[in-house]
Structure 1
């Protein structure tokens, strides 16, 4: 589990209510922890597809004839499953966010702990890295992403500082960025604020919220009648989208009701919100903010 220690492993796989001969998808394959647990519960005729756009994850491919790894972004889930002649599935699991491996590799630029190139791309082939965002985005655009994705109240001041400094020299590493922003990092909140700044940039680099929305919108048409959706999120922006989509089938506004007062909401929640136990958080600190939500097709 050195690549990534899977969070809420048993709970998120239990949520799928696995049928021995079912077809399942793990859209965030990573180190393969969740996938291995799903395969343990599948019979000989079951099938599991994994999605992961990060080339590093290819090294964790599972040697099992029931398993196929698709090296693509899960926003294209329906398109790539159709390539394998799969139009309906019995369950899908998403463990959102960044894997431990991505945080621990300094040169990927995800971590606030190490100095590394400002990259943050989950897909190394994509054109925009954190470096372009920090050095090329307008002050207004920078302030907007820091406010929307980092939930930072002083986003305008932070953006102004970045733009002022990059005129003197290009900001290319995480340590450089941290030094530039030092005056916005009071000692008591330093770690929290820098984490929010990095989160905002990473979400923009990888279009994470757009990807999540596109993925969720495909789920009602993909799931079989008894099919399950199991989603683990790590920050309020993701969790709000998941919660709202399960409740309303929308990301904003309320569903339209017919003359009988019924609304066409495609999913319904299963059980209550699940969070890690204190024991799991003690073993794996990255589990502390995890939230698991489960849904099925509304009957």
Structure 2
């Protein structure tokens, strides 16, 4: 019989996701009994399980209903110690407020896609197997990747490929997509991948030429950079004094934004060339816990190659004033 998913849908792959940098996250957040932790990207529940076993209470958020259902099943043994909620992490202030939850002792964000999302063809995140071109974390909300590639202008597609995929051939690929969709709409992952491959003249190198295009479409469809900017701006206000923030990124755009934002919140003074002297930083609320990003060990990469690009950064809330 074909494998079933956690929701009992025949033919779907079982949900699986290895938590990356688990030991490093546990060392950085140091969860303890009685603490309240927000896991803003619950996913498969691996990080949450480790924090629950350390005695912490965990509120887990995820916009993917399939991930949420799996995590609830996996973590059911913890009872009231664990609470799962459906939603985008950028909305966590509203979700916590509606649930009567105040400031927390730690916040964890593990960005990117899960192994299940990549490996399940019907989700449309990958071109390893054919499936609908979707790539939405929450399939009930927003436009799909197919909507985007079939309606966006060549200029907009080029911007997306270049900005989110850091694709040097963005112009060429955008033109190829528009040309092909004018002949027949693009609705499947393999069709889009073949268009990019044909345009690139792929000769079997390490990375398929469509890899960055799919990454870019996923980031655009889910507004990943916008959501990350929102949560970074709000997170310090929702940490208790001494509370900690840990963020795992998977590519340079995310890591750069996290690095710059945490650095800004950790500077007591701001200086500008046009100012006669430095001025107090009204956003000064954090102490950096990681001067440089933490990468996975060679052993972890051997066991989980998808962890290779992961980078972890963290910070700690300094002030006692929580504008809640």
Same fold by TM-score, threshold 0.5 exceeded?
yes
Query: Shift of residue 70 of structure 1?
Result: 0.6
Shift of 1:60: 2.4
Is the partner of 2:29 in helix, strand or coil?
Answer: coil
Structure 2 residue 291 is the aligned partner of structure 1 residue 281 = no
Q: Secondary structure at the match of 1:295?
A: strand
Higher relative contact order structure (alpha carbons within 8 Å, sequence separation ≥ 6): 1
| Secondary structure, counterpart of 2:299 in structure 1 | helix
| 1:23 alignment counterpart | 36
- Map 1:1-299 to 2 at 5 A: 3-42=16-55, 46-57=56-67, 58-61=69-72, 62-63=75-76, 64-181=79-196, 182-187=198-203, 189=205, 191-249=207-265, 259=277, 261-264=279-282, 265-271=284-290, 272-298=292-318
Could you say what secondary structure the match of 1:193 adopts? Answer: coil
SS in 1 for 2:209: helix
Point out where structure 1 has 5 or more consecutive residues left out of the alignment.
none
Deviates more, 1:236-245 or 1:272-281: 272-281
8 Å contact from structure 2 (residues 15, 70) kept in 1: no
Structure 1 residue 19 displacement after superposition: 3.0
Question: Could you give the per-residue CA deviations for residues 193-238 of structure 1, whole angstroms, max 9, x where no partner exists?
Answer: 3111100000011110111111111111101110000111000011
When residues 15 and 198 of structure 1 are mapped into structure 2, their CA distance, relative to the original with a 3 A threshold, is same
* Separation (CA, whole Å) in 2 of partners of 1:249 and 1:227: 14
TM-score, normalized by length of structure 2? Answer: 0.86
Structure 2 gaps of 5+ residues are 1-13, 320-324
List per-residue Cα deviations over 1:69-100 (Å, max 9, x = no partner).
Answer: 01111110111111122221100111100000
Q: Partners in 1 of 2:108 and 2:277 — Cα distance?
A: 36
Once the 2 structures are TM-superposed, how far is the Cα of residue 297 of structure 1 from its aligned partner? 1.8
Q: 2:176 is paired with a residue of what secondary structure?
A: helix
**2: CA distance between counterparts of 1:151 and 1:40?**
40
Within 2, Cα distance between the matches of 1:90 and 1:242? Answer: 20
RMSD over aligned CA atoms reads 2.0
**Aligned mates of 1:122, 1:255 — CA distance in 2:** 40
Show CA shifts across 1:235-274 (max 9, x none).
0011111111100149xxx777895554333322103421
Q: Distance in 2 between matches of 1:215 and 1:186?
A: 38
TM-score with structure 1 setting the length: 0.92
Please state whether the residue corresponding to 1:19 is helix, strand or coil. Answer: coil
Q: How far, CA to CA, are the matches of 1:80 and 1:127 in structure 2? A: 20
Contact 2:172 2:199 in 1 (8 A): no
CA–CA distance in structure 1, aligned partners of residues 271 and 146 of structure 2: 40
Distance between the aligned counterparts of 1:177 and 1:196, measured in 2? 12
